[in-house]
Amino acid sequence: MTVERALRLIAGAFVLASLALGTWVNPKWYWFTAFVGANLLQSGFTNWCPMMTFLRKLGLGARQQSA
């Protein structure tokens, strides 16, 4: 699995989990949703995301180039 694909899976899971927690546990969990969204927004501008650094340290590779 590539870093980019894992990042999208993790971000989607975080957003859905925090929405569920905000609905059924405590509305303050929506702040976590906002944090994930803000991180994705800054990643779009800077092309850097802390989770990508972490995933690379775990050994996930970059996107493979097709011939």
Cβ atoms of 57 and 3 within 8 Å: the answer is: no
Q: pLDDT value at position 1?
A: 84
Dist CA 29 CA 31 (whole Å): 5
Per-residue model confidence as pLDDT tens digits over 26-52: 999 999 999 999 999 999 999 999 999
pTM: 0.81
**Backbone torsions φ then ψ of 31, nearest 5 degrees:** -65, -35
Q: Taking 80 as the threshold, does the pLDDT of residue 18 lie above it?
A: yes
Q: pLDDT value at position 65?
A: 56
**Backbone torsions φ then ψ of 64, nearest 5 degrees:** -85, 140
